[in-house]
Amino acid sequence: MRRQQNLSSKEGDGVLGRLMEEESLGDDAVADFIINLLFAGNETTAKTMLFAVYFLTHCPRAMKQLLDEHSSIRSRPINREEELLTWQDYKAMPFTQCVIDETLRLGGIAIWLMREAKEDVKYQDYVIPKGCFVVPFLSAVHLDENIYKGALSFNPWRWMEPENQEKRNWRSSPLYSPFGGGARFCPGAELARLQIALFLHYFVTSYRSFIFLSTITQQTTPPFCNFI
Ligand code: HEM
Measured from the CA of 192, which atom of ligand 1 is nearest? 27
Q: What is residue 150's predicted lDDT score, i.e. its pLDDT?
A: 96
Ligand 1 geometric centre to CA of 218 (Å): 33
Q: Specify the pTM.
A: 0.85
Measured from the CA of 177, which atom of ligand 1 is nearest? 10
Mean local confidence (pLDDT), 167-187: 94
Ligand 1 geometric centre to CA of 98 (Å): 20
Mean local confidence (pLDDT), 172-181: 95
Residue 192 has pLDDT above 50, yes or no: yes
188 lines ligand 1 (CB under 6 A): yes
Measured from the CA of 108, which atom of ligand 1 is nearest? 5
Ligand 1 geometric centre to CA of 212 (Å): 34
Q: What is residue 40's predicted lDDT score, i.e. its pLDDT?
A: 87
Give the other-Cβ count within 10 Å of 119's Cβ.
8
Residue 1 has pLDDT above 90, yes or no: no
Mean local confidence (pLDDT), 104-126: 94
Q: What is residue 66's predicted lDDT score, i.e. its pLDDT?
A: 97
Cβ burial, residue 118 (10 Å; 0-12/13-18/19+):
exposed
Measured from the CA of 36, which atom of ligand 1 is nearest? 35
Q: What is residue 154's predicted lDDT score, i.e. its pLDDT?
A: 97
The DSSP result for 158-202, as a single string, is GGGSGGGTTTT-TTT-SS--TT--GGG--TTHHHHHHHHHHHHHH
177 lines ligand 1 (CB under 6 A): no
Least Cα distance to 155 among 98, 218, 200 occurs for 98
181 lines ligand 1 (CB under 6 A): no
Nearest CA to ligand 1 atom 21: 186
Nearest CA to ligand 1 atom 19: 186
36 lines ligand 1 (CB under 6 A): yes
Give the gyration radius of the chain's Cα atoms. 21
pLDDT in tens, 36-83: 888 888 889 999 999 999 999 999 999 999 999 999 998 877 655 557
Spatial separation of the C-alpha atoms in residues 71 and 93, rounded to whole Å: 11
107 lines ligand 1 (CB under 6 A): no
Q: What is residue 83's predicted lDDT score, i.e. its pLDDT?
A: 75
CB 143 within 8 Å of CB 151: yes
Residue 219 has pLDDT above 50, yes or no: no
Spatial separation of the C-alpha atoms in residues 20 and 8, rounded to whole Å: 12
pLDDT band at 224 (very low <50, low <70, confident <90, very high): low
Q: How many CA atoms lie within 13 A of 4 on its CB side?
A: 1
Question: Which amino acid, 222?
Answer: P
Q: What is residue 99's predicted lDDT score, i.e. its pLDDT?
A: 98
Ligand 1 geometric centre to CA of 12 (Å): 25
CB 118 within 8 Å of CB 94: no
The response to whether 59 counts as a known ligand-binding position is: no
First to last CA, the chain: 59
Q: What is residue 36's predicted lDDT score, i.e. its pLDDT?
A: 85
Helix, strand or coil for residue 54?
Answer: helix
187 lines ligand 1 (CB under 6 A): yes
How much is the mean pLDDT over the chain? 86
Q: At what angle do helices 60-74 and 189-206 cross, to 10 degrees?
A: 90
Helix, strand or coil for residue 115?
Answer: strand
Task: Report CA torsion sign: 66, 72, 75, 77.
Answer: negative
